[in-house]
């Protein structure tokens, strides 16, 4: 059918749809069947609820047993249909949609991002591990939910935030309400960065394109080759190939042209279709390849069938050498959380060594990005990711499937520590010794604060405090502001990083970068600052020392100068306060005051003041947790 005819038909279809709420789905099913009858959203004629599901429940026996016990027929239904069936059951019993979902969730064992719709309400749910992404946006006064942020760009919607793992978001005529139904144990599938997600999407505060480009840069550092041309396997490998070419100064060319009417062959459910699809999908350009030493970059090597065909095609048009590089480590374990890799024996790296794979695909050489290189390129801690396809460590129980996989194990879930746990991020700089961070670490070890130090951020790569993070196995990142004109984007990026770690309190412990409004409007937690002066409760009412003299506020003054000012008074002090969008001002949690001594210097007074500052900081954190 001609494309114009298709477009007109699509427009006519949309004109016939009435209503103010809708859900859609464009992904094949991965559990219980692959035929057309399992197309989503799951909804039958005159149904009271529709459901769209991204992910897979690898174990549905418990769910099936429950449905059978209440008289519902389960045979021939896949996991998504079983979920819709249970939610519908509770709706018929007059539960609200939210309560029906909450009642059903304990039986959903696996990875799920769900969008569930009734006539007047929409609920979005993300499993407690966040294996698959799910984001919230705003459009024309209403809200939209999508598995990828690039969908918001397409319809001119505004990205608000990622939906948290273990969170339920309800959209109705009243607006938006949220509920954290389970503790978060963030385990995003790292393969989203490698291949699954579109490059123009954002994940955990990072642009997928830039991460893939970094994968190529790291690959080039690990395996710099001598060649004439770098060629990507389009399209998901293009950023990595550009990164590799940039790092090695080898020319980048589009030596394989993609037929854009053929979809992704990796996720085709039938091997025969995959093999035929490769040849229809990609066509080599002889002038780019002939008599050249070719570096062929692929995002991953899963079954090896695509690369075997491509290497042969390149040789047929005259390639002198073909060197294949993968921008991720060998894929040795199948996915059970929503991608069609059903058996381990289909994964070539699970039963062949790298030299054996090289021989199988017919390449002159073959290299895989290291596991460390993958993590370094993503730039976030390993514990935030599901890396099961590389390590065989599955964060969610995969049921009886575990018996079929050599070398696999189920990770034990993290303890919720009997209630709400404060997730702290400590923001440091290169000035000072990181003593505030050390004080928080010691307080945690001594069980003085029921908090987890989840992240350390430095705005300088030479910060001494980073060694404290390293010594105590605390994830850390360096986030520098190199161009002050980009302060707004810096603030937003920093806030998104904190949000991705589910930080509840960020502590500015000597952080030298002034945070812009974009940080405060994006970060969902509380920000504390340790001020070297005694700030007032109200700007119009200055704080007074015990002797009645007005204490110096020292807003915007560096620590040494602030302490120097205190030498003129009988007292000195510091403040721990919540930071609002007004620079360095907000509700005071703790003040610490000490007497100055006649022979005090800046150094001696500062040393005594720091001890009090540490006590005030620990007490402030305890106050926040109690709230």
Mean pLDDT across the stretch 402-419? 65
Q: Exposure of 353 by Cβ count < 10 A (0-12 exposed, 13-18 middle, 19+ buried)?
A: exposed
- The C-alpha atoms of residue 220 and residue 224 are separated, in whole angstroms, by 5
> What architecture does CATH give domain 3-186?
4-Layer Sandwich (3.60)
Is the separation of the CB atoms in 369 and 295 below 8 Å? Answer: no
pLDDT of the residue at 410: 84
Say whether pLDDT at 26 is over 80. Answer: no
Sign of CA dihedral 101, 102, 103, 105: positive
Going by pLDDT thresholds of 50, 70 and 90, the confidence category of residue 133 is very high
- Helix or strand holding residue 54 (H, E): strand 50-56
* CA 592 – CA 472 distance, rounded (Å): 28
The span from the CA of 357 to the CA of 352, in Å, is: 6
Pick from 185, 529, 169: which is nearest to 386 by CA?
A: 185
Among candidates 434, 527, 511, 510, which has minimal Cα distance to 474?
Answer: 434
> Identical fold at 212-410 and 422-626?
yes
CB-CB neighbours of 521 under 10 Å:
11
CB 303 within 8 A of CB 269: no
Torsions phi, psi of 64, nearest 5?
Answer: -65, -40
List of residues 6+ apart from 483 with CB closer than 8 A = none
Q: Which H or E run contains 589?
A: strand 588-595
pLDDT at residue 416, rounded to an integer: 33
pLDDT at 419: 37
Higher pLDDT, 48 or 366: 366
State the Cα–Cα distance between residues 326 and 210, nearest whole angstrom: 17
Q: The tokens 């004439």 sit on which residue?
A: 228
The domain spans of the chain are 3-186, 212-410, 422-626
CATH of 422-626, one of 2.40.160.10, 3.40.718.10, 3.40.50.10150, 3.40.50.170: 3.40.50.170
The correct CATH number of 212-410 out of 3.40.50.10800, 3.90.1300.10, 1.10.3810.10, 3.40.50.2020 is 3.40.50.2020
Greatest mean pLDDT among 237-241, 497-501, 589-593 lies in: 237-241
Tell me how far apart the alpha carbons of residues 547 and 307 are, in angstroms, rounded to a whole number: 80
Task: Encode pLDDT of 201-258 as tens digits.
Answer: 999 999 999 999 999 999 999 999 999 999 999 989 999 999 999 999 999 999 999 8
Cβ(594)–Cβ(567) under 8 Å? no
- Residue 456: beta bridge partners? 426, 476
Identify the pLDDT of residue 118: 94
Average pLDDT on 607-611 reads 87
What is the tens place of the pLDDT at every residue in 325-366? 999 999 999 999 987 765 899 999 999 999 999 999 999 999
Going by pLDDT thresholds of 50, 70 and 90, the confidence category of residue 267 is very low
User: How far is the C-alpha of 211 from the C-alpha of 221, rounded, in Å?
Assistant: 15
């Amino acid at each position: 059918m001609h494309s114009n005819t298709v477009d007109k038909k699509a427009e006519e279809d949309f004109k016939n749809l009435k209503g103010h709420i809708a859900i859609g789905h464009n992904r094949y099913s991965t559990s219980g069947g692959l035929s057309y009858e399992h197309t989503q959203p799951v909804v039958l004629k005159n149904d009271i609820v529709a459901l769209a599901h991204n992910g897979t429940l690898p174990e549905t026996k418990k769910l099936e047993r429950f449905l059978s016990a209440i008289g519902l027929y389960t045979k021939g239904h896949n996991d998504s249909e079983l979920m819709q069936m249970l939610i519908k059951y509770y709706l018929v019993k007059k539960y609200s949609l939210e309560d029906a979902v909450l009642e059903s969730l304990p039986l959903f064992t696996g990875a799920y991002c769900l969008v569930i719709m009734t006539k007047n309400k929409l609920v979005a749910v993300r499993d407690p591990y966040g294996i698959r992404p799910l984001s919230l946006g705003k459009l024309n006064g209403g809200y939209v939910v999508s598995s990828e942020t690039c969908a918001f760009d397409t319809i001119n919607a505004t990205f608000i935030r990622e939906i948290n793992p273990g969170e339920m978001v309800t959209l109705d005529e009243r607006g938006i309400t949220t509920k954290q139904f389970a503790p978060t144990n963030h385990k995003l599938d790292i393969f989203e960065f490698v291949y699954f997600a579109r490059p123009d999407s954002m994940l955990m505060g990072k642009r997928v394109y830039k991460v893939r480009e970094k994968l190529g840069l790291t690959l080039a550092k690990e395996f710099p080759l001598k060649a004439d041309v770098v060629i990507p396997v389009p399209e998901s490998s293009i950023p990595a190939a550009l990164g590799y070419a940039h790092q090695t100064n080898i020319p980048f060319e589009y030596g394989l042209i993609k037929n854009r009417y053929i979809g992704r062959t990796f996720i085709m459910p039938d091997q025969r279709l995959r093999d035929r699809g490769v040849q229809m999908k990609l066509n080599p350009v002889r002038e780019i390849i002939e008599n050249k030493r070719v570096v062929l970059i692929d995002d991953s090597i899963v079954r090896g069938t695509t690369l075997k065909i491509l290497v042969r095609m390149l040789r047929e048009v005259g390639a002198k050498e073909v060197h294949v590089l993968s921008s991720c480590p060998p894929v040795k374990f199948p996915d059970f959380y929503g991608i069609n890799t059903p058996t381990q024996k289909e994964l070539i790296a699970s039963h062949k060594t790298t030299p054996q794979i090289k021989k199988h695909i017919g390449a002159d050489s073959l290299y895989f990005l290291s596991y460390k290189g993958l993590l370094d390129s993503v730039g976030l801690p390993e514990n935030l990711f599901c890396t099961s396809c590389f390590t065989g460590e599955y964060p969610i129980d995969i049921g009886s499937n575990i018996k079929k996989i050599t070398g696999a194990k189920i990770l034990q879930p993290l303890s919720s520590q009997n209630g709400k746990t404060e997730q702290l991020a400590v923001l440091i700089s290169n000035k000072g010794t990181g003593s505030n961070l050390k004080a928080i670490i010691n307080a945690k070890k001594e069980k003085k604060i029921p908090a987890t130090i989840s992240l350390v951020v430095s705005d300088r790569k030479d910060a001494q405090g980073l060694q404290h993070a390293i010594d105590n196995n605390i994830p850390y990142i360096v986030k520098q502001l190199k161009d002050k004109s980009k302060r707004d984007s810096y603030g937003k990026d920093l806030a998104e990083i904190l949000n991705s770690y589910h930080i509840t309190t960020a502590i500015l412990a000597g952080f030298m970068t002034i945070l812009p409004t974009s940080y405060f409007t994006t970060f969902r937690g509380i920000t504390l600052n340790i001020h070297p002066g005694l700030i007032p409760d109200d700007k119009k009412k200055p704080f007074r020392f015990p002797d009645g003299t007005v204490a110096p506020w020292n807003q915007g003054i560096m620590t040494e100068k602030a302490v120097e000012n205190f030498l003129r008074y009988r007292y000195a002090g510091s403040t721990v306060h919540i930071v609002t969008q007004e620079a360095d001002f907000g509700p005071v949690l703790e003040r610490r005051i000490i007497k100055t001594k006649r022979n005090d210097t800046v150094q001696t007074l500062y040393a005594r003041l720091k001890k009090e500052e540490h006590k005030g900081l620990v007490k402030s954190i305890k106050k926040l947790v109690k709230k």
